[in-house]
Amino acid sequence: MSQGGYVTLVGFVAQDPQQRETKNGSRVTDLRVGATTRVQDRVTLQWRDGDTSYYNVSCWRRLGDHVRASLRKGDPVVIKGRFKARTFEDKTTGLSRTVIDIVADTVGHDLNRGIANYMRPQQAQVNNGGDPGADGSQDVVDGRDMIDEEAIEQFGRELDEGFNDADLDARAPGTDRAAGGAVPSPLPS
């Protein structure tokens, strides 16, 4: 059973996201994403960039707010969304044109090409009768904040200092690559 034309797009942000408001007051962030294929020359066996295709992506409401705050031109991204066709009249030729856009359900940085630092948005405080978990928040245990701000700041400083892979491997919890130990898999075997 088909749920419509879904697509997963892996590429890069081609221009900074632009947010606008629709006639009914909804916020939408428009994103231009490029995807470049890699091709191997059969004679030299060298890899090179192929053609680049560009796609218009729409991110609605809260997702759009987060995209606008998080993504910049050149960032590697992964987008899951639906195809949406729209028709318009070309102002220069007067011809009717149809384009296919992507309406995003999920957008994130492509962690195969770099490190990202996730920041959970602050939630408004709700009077919940003294029960810290009543609002569905999982960031508070026994009245204490589980987010370690000092650790986040230290991580940022370390990234700024420019660790290489060996430095990051040596600091990874539960691994001992330097001693030839195996790296634990996050998936059950």
Domain presence at residue 123: yes
Domain containing residue 42: CATH number: 2.40.50.140
**Are 25 and 83 part of one and the same domain?**
yes
The DSSP string of the chain is ---S-EEEEEEEEEEEEEEEE-TTS-EEEEEEEEEEEEEE-TTT--EEEEEEEEEEEEEEHHHHHHHHHH--TT-EEEEEEEEEEEEEE-TTT--EEEEEEEEEEEEEE-TTS------PPPPPP---TT-TTTTS--SEETTEE-S-HHHHHHHHHHHHHT--HHHHHHHSTT--GGGTPPPPPSS--
Of 5-19, 20-34, 128-142, 161-175, least confident by mean pLDDT is 128-142
Residue pLDDT, tens place only, 158-180:
666 665 555 555 555 554 444 44
Band of pLDDT at residue 9, cut at 50, 70 and 90: very high
Domain end among 81, 112, 143:
112
Task: Judge whether residue 109 has pLDDT over 60.
Answer: yes
Domain presence at residue 189: no
Domain presence at residue 53: yes
Greatest mean pLDDT among 41-45, 46-50, 74-78, 123-127 lies in 74-78
Domain end among 88, 112, 136:
112
Model pTM above 0.75: no
**Are 127 and 86 part of one and the same domain?**
no
Q: Give residue 140's pLDDT.
A: 44
**Are 55 and 41 part of one and the same domain?**
yes
**Are 92 and 123 part of one and the same domain?**
no
**Are 163 and 103 part of one and the same domain?**
no
